[in-house]
Amino acid sequence: MPATVIVGAQWGDEGKGKIVDLLAQHADVVCRYQGGPNAGNTVVSGGETFKFRHIPTGILWGKVCVIAAGCVVDPGVLVGELDGLEARGISTETLRLSGNAHLVMPWHVALDGASERRLGRLRIGTTRRGIGPAYADKAARLGIRVQDLLEPKILRQKIETALGEKNVWLERVYGAEPLELESLAAGLEGYAQRLRPYVADTSLLVDRALRAGRVVLLAGAQGTLLDLDHGTYPFVTSSSPLAAAAATSVGMGPSRIDSVLGVAKAYVTRVGEGPFPTEIAGSEGARVRELGAEFGTVTGRERRCGWLDLVALRFAVRVNGITSLALTKLDVLSTFAELPVCTRYRLRDGSESDDFPSHQGDFHHARPVYSVLEGWRQPIDAARSLEDLPPAARRYIEVVEQALEVEITLVGIGAERERVLSARGAEALVDA
């Protein structure tokens, strides 16, 4: 009964969407387990580009797709995504939305933006999609859930109660415009009608699928280092992208997870603020950004680029229990003569460590210690198997495998679906 978690091993944007898309063809159910419209997955299929925010990319294969209880859903964004897919002839009939997922409301978006503006230089650099405020209300037990959309009277009452408080914050604390009850309630009632058919008990659905021997993919959003508990707090997102969170968010026991596929870029990117030891300064960083088209799918922001960080990746292997790894965008490194890879951090007391620092101050001051690997300096996008890769590219992969003690089973060498090389065939990866 294989259940496979697919988890970002860095700061998000590792190319999880494409890997999920590749594996989804051999799966029966694809669940998104946390995050909300802060995520953006791009899949190129049949020459067409699809961008996803809420819906798992498995919808392109006609698979049952679940937005699980641990997600926060912006109803307007989700409806826009559904309409966009339907308009392109992609059926969304197989989507199931957990009634327990929380809604991102317009005041969450307004508060996220207002809070970031007020923080100024100390801002987190959020996507300003209301994620933090929505999860905060969930924890404070003030949230509005998907199931509330099914009860128009209760929904209106909840909106009214919430607005009473949120407008005080918006006006008095942030000097922002208040939100108006009538137009907001009317908009939500429209979304409620549209979303009603998709609402389901998704925990039960996944349980039944696993009992029937179906293949279930559990796809995380963002990445390990953005985890609320174990990431680079406070420069993190407000949910848990870690593999174990898949179980709680979906509503299944952790013992039912069979394998954890980590996804990492062959280099590192980070959007938003916060420490980044291997960040590449100046024109070389800009070169990686251009070659890798490293601009945010959600916000269009420039991504900060850095060399591969094996200290952080080992940490990701540890906290997620990663059993195999997909290394994406290897082709982006093809023109570099030398490829530094960070194997240790030099700490502020002058000592060196290959363990990821548990103290925020140590991480802020950590300096990378590099091994410099030889580049392959030739295009690799024509390779059809791992054996076709030039020796220096294979060596790069081996160094990562040895440092992590984890097998690299997939290697990304281009944007299209076919440009993912597999050690054993994608089918074998989900058939644990």
By CB under 6 A, name the binding residues for ligand IMP. 11-13, 38-40, 124-127, 129, 131-132, 221-222, 226, 235, 237-238, 271-272
CB of 244 to ligand IMP, least distance (A): 19
Q: Is 39 or 144 the residue whose CB approaches ligand IMP more closely?
A: 39
How far apart are the C-alpha atoms of 159 and 146, rounded to whole Å?
13
How near is the Cβ of 374 to ligand IMP at its closest, in Å? 30
DSSP character at residue 355 = S
In the bound complex, which residue of the shown chain has the CB atom lying closest to ligand IMP?
A: 272
Cis before 234? omega within 30: yes
Residue 2 vs 274, nearer CB to ligand IMP: 274
Neighbour tally for 350: CB within 10 Å: 6
Q: Which residue number, 13 or 331, has a Cβ lying nearer to ligand IMP?
A: 13
- In the bound state with ligand IMP, the residue whose beta carbon lies nearer, of 99 and 275, is 275
Residue 94 Cβ vs ligand IMP, minimum distance, rounded to whole Å:
24
By C-beta, is 226 or 383 nearer to ligand IMP? 226
**CB-CB contact of 28 with 214 (8 Å):** yes
Closer by beta carbon to ligand IMP, 224 or else 323: 224
Question: From CA 267, how far away is CA 277, in angstroms rounded?
Answer: 12
User: Could you give the residue ranges of the DSSP H alpha helices within 199-309?
Assistant: 202-211, 245-250, 282-291
User: What token pair was written down for 334?
Assistant: 């093809």
CB 262 within 8 A of CB 314: no
At closest approach, how far in Å is the CB of 15 from ligand IMP? 11
Phi, psi angle pair for 35, to nearest 5°: 75, -175
**Phi, psi torsion values for 322, nearest 5 degrees:** -65, 130
Least Cβ distance, residue 45 to ligand IMP (angstroms) = 20
Selection from 250, 259, 256, 251 nearest residue 66 by Cα: 250
CB-nearer residue toward ligand IMP: 22 or 221: 221
Considering the complex, state which of residue 12 and residue 143 has its C-beta at the smaller distance from ligand IMP. Answer: 12
| Cα 228 to Cα 131: distance, rounded to the nearest angstrom | 12
CB of 128 vs ligand IMP, minimal distance in Å: 7
* Shortest CB 7 distance to ligand IMP, Å: 13
Q: In whole angstroms, how close is the CB of 41 to ligand IMP at the nearest point? A: 9
The rounded distance, in Å, linking the Cα atoms of 393 and 211 is 42
In the complex, the smallest distance separating the C-beta of residue 359 from ligand IMP, rounded to whole angstroms, is 20
Q: How far apart are CA 371 and CA 107, in angstroms?
A: 48
**Residue 220 or 414 with smaller CB distance to ligand IMP:** 220
CB atoms within 10 A of CB 211: 10
User: Is 324 within 8 Å of 409 (Cβ atoms)?
Assistant: yes
Report the distance separating Cα 329 and Cα 264, nearest Å: 9
